[in-house]
A and B are shown apart, each in its own frame.
Chain A
Amino acid sequence: MTNEDIKNLILEIIKDIDDEADFESHDPDKALREQLELDSMDFLDIVMELRKRHKLQIPEEDYPHLATLNSCVRYLQPLLKDA
């Protein structure tokens, strides 16, 4: 997967969690939770969807790596490079 693919994957998962999520003015370096009004329960959904779709096991201590869109890409790139 390219960085762009990973970005789109995360946005697609978020759109699936909340079909009214607004990405218009989204800053990829700012926290997803605050910008999109996601809570910890929604956040778990991102982790679970990555597991369901790409068999990725993300340990709890790595959750902070998924804080922003860009940090998601940095963290997931090596894990999804062959996907």
Chain B
Amino acid sequence: MSAAIRAARFIPEVLLIEKHSRLGGLNSYFYRNNTLYETGLHAITNYADPGNKQAPINRLFRQLKLRRKDFSFCQQIKSEVVFRNLESLTFSNDFDVFDTEIRKKFPRAAVRFQEMIDFINHFDPFLPSPFRSTKFFLAEKLQAPLLAEMILCPLMYYGSSRENDMDLSQFVIMFRAIFQEGMFRPRGTIKEFLDLLFTHYLEMGGSLRKNCGVKKILIRQNRAIGVELEHGETLECDHILSTIGHDETLRLISGAGASQSTDLARLGFVETMYSLQHKSTPSLPKNKTIIFFNDGERFSYKNPTDFVDFRSGVICFTANFQGLPQKSMMEIRSTHLANYGKWKHLSTQPDRYSCQKQDTSRRSAQMLENLIGSFATNIVYEDTFTPVTIERYTAKINGAIYGSPEKVKDGNIGYPNLFLAGTDQGFLGIIGSMLSGVSIVNQHILPKL
């Protein structure tokens, strides 16, 4: 959407093709019993005050000609990284809170942590560079294995497509986004946020086709000349920007067939949303927005052998943001790593698949209750998504939210007028993927007009 808005500012004919019936991809919404539920949003990263001109969110708004004052944002209260029975670290949108926590709880690593911050502040993560292991970087820089894992836990859960490690550039982007800038959400629903963006896009002159899958990208003499839609219609164009993923794009190119950019595992997740009445849960935390937790000896971020790895995860209290109007209902969201293959296999047997989802919801709630207190007896409504759900609604291979472990940072996939943006270009999260769309349009399309 942001790529389309950016292009529509300077190109008269821009068409956004959306396979689904709603915009937003992973960050969309659905209705049950006349209630709107958001599908994916915990929080948006990269919070910055309007006056900070160089902050990613403000650069994004300028590029899209959006006015900050048209959007109302609520910042997180505070969040936590909890390694049960070992240590916890509180952080907020004020980086000093996190810095102080680390000085207090890891005094021997305090100087090295400061050196790491200096490194991050001077590092340009957007320069093309080969994969560099963050695990090795942190081991060497901090010499504090527990602290390294506690720093990695939120960053991996909110943006690593790679098992048990992340690219150093990605680490720097995520560290800034989560710890140095921070988290927030729109005061309204994600639907209202998407509606504002979409109205703006229409005002720029762009057009949209929903429920419109692309069957093929048509290539002639190594140039994209158009697309063939699933219902048979052919559309011609000068440029294509694909945000569906790298391998997903290659699959649409005649002749590129089964080519695959990497053999590394793609990571899947399950998430359960528990809806509760506010008044029924007086003992639940009211001042914590997100808890990233680990219950094992070591933090393991890899494709689980079982359906779900309950030993670590994310808990989001969607009502716990500063200034968010209180509603009668509240939601708790729990996220864990999940094995796509096992869920996919089971999905051919709907009854067993459904039972497995219920079991996941129950076991996740038990794990959460160890950390936040009891709530399961007060659940009014719950909904669980699996990697198969993500695959169905977003067509991402293996339902992998963060896409391919190998990223194409310059968006170049071998064609002079067909480019990649979004998750597989390497900018993750809502602000990241929106900036990705903008930067690829800027880099590859606008200069060629």
Residues in A whose Cβ lies below 8 Å from that of B438: 41
Q: A52 to B63, alpha carbons, bound, how many Å?
A: 15
Given contacts A42-B62, A45-B63, A48-B10, contact A37 B53 (CB under 8 A): yes
Q: A60 to B439, alpha carbons, bound, how many Å?
A: 16
User: Which B-chain residue is minimally distant from A42 (CB atoms)?
Assistant: B62
**Cβ-based interface call for A17 (8 A):** yes
Q: A48 to B11, alpha carbons, bound, how many Å?
A: 10
A17, A18, A37, A48, most chain B CB atoms within 10 A? A48
**Cβ-based interface call for A82 (8 A):** no
Contact A18 B62 (CB under 8 A): yes
B9, B54, B438, B447, most chain A CB atoms within 10 A? B447
**Cβ-based interface call for B114 (8 A):** no
Contact A51 B53 (CB under 8 A): no
**Cβ-based interface call for B127 (8 A):** no
User: Which B-chain residue is minimally distant from A21 (CB atoms)?
Assistant: B53
Residues in A whose Cβ lies below 8 Å from that of B449: 51
Interface string of B54-88 (1 = CB under 8 A from A): 10000100110000000000000000000000000
**Cβ-based interface call for B446 (8 A):** yes
Residues in A whose Cβ lies below 8 Å from that of B62: 17-18, 41-42, 45
Contact B53 A48 (CB under 8 A): no
Residues in B whose Cβ lies below 8 Å from that of A42: 59, 62-63
Interface string of B90-101 (1 = CB under 8 A from A): 000000000000
**Cβ-based interface call for B442 (8 A):** yes
Q: A51 to B11, alpha carbons, bound, how many Å?
A: 11
Q: How far is the CB of A16 from chain B (nearest CB, A)?
A: 8
Q: A51 to B447, alpha carbons, bound, how many Å?
A: 11
Contact A60 B447 (CB under 8 A): yes
Q: How far is the CB of B265 from chain A (nearest CB, A)?
A: 35
Given contacts A18-B62, A48-B446, contact A39 B54 (CB under 8 A): yes
How many interface contacts (CB-CB < 8 Å) are there between A and B? 28
Q: How far is the CB of B176 from chain A (nearest CB, A)?
A: 15
Given contacts A18-B62, A51-B10, A52-B10, contact A44 B446 (CB under 8 A): yes
Given contacts A48-B10, A51-B10, A60-B447, contact A41 B59 (CB under 8 A): yes
Q: How far is the CB of A12 from chain B (nearest CB, A)?
A: 15
Given contacts A18-B62, A52-B10, contact A41 B447 (CB under 8 A): no
Residues in A whose Cβ lies below 8 Å from that of B447: 44, 60
Q: A52 to B8, alpha carbons, bound, how many Å?
A: 12
Q: How far is the CB of A20 from chain B (nearest CB, A)?
A: 8
Interface string of B426-449 (1 = CB under 8 A from A): 000000000000110010001101
Q: A41 to B442, alpha carbons, bound, how many Å?
A: 7
Q: How far is the CB of A76 from chain B (nearest CB, A)?
A: 18
Residues in B whose Cβ lies below 8 Å from that of A17: 62
Residues in A whose Cβ lies below 8 Å from that of B59: 39, 41-42
B63 partner, pick from A37, A41, A51, A60, beta carbons under 8 A: A41
Q: How far is the CB of B446 from chain A (nearest CB, A)?
A: 6
Q: How far is the CB of B439 from chain A (nearest CB, A)?
A: 7
Q: How far is the CB of B425 from chain A (nearest CB, A)?
A: 16
B62, B442, B446, most chain A CB atoms within 10 A? B62
User: Which A-chain residue is minimally distant from B449 (CB atoms)?
Assistant: A51
Contact B439 A41 (CB under 8 A): yes
Residues in A whose Cβ lies below 8 Å from that of B446: 44, 48
User: Which B-chain residue is minimally distant from A60 (CB atoms)?
Assistant: B447
User: Which B-chain residue is minimally distant from A38 (CB atoms)?
Assistant: B53
Q: A51 to B446, alpha carbons, bound, how many Å?
A: 11
Q: A83 to B53, alpha carbons, bound, how many Å?
A: 33
Residues in B whose Cβ lies below 8 Å from that of A52: 10
Interface string of A29-59 (1 = CB under 8 A from B): 0000000010101101100100110000000
User: Which A-chain residue is minimally distant from B50 (CB atoms)?
Assistant: A20
Q: A44 to B62, alpha carbons, bound, how many Å?
A: 12
Binding site for A on B (CB under 8 A): 9-10, 53-54, 59, 62-63, 438-439, 442, 446-447, 449
12 inter-chain pairs at a CB distance below 8 angstroms, sorted by A residue, are A17-B62, A39-B54, A41-B59, A41-B62, A41-B438, A41-B442, A42-B59, A42-B63, A44-B447, A45-B62, A51-B10, A51-B449
Interface contacts beyond A37-B53, A44-B446: sample of 12 additional A-B pairs, CB < 8 Å, sorted by A: A17-B62, A18-B53, A18-B62, A39-B54, A41-B63, A41-B438, A41-B439, A44-B447, A45-B62, A48-B446, A51-B10, A52-B10
What are the 7 A-B residue pairs with the smallest beta carbon separation, nearest first?
A37-B53, A48-B10, A44-B442, A41-B63, A48-B446, A41-B442, A41-B59
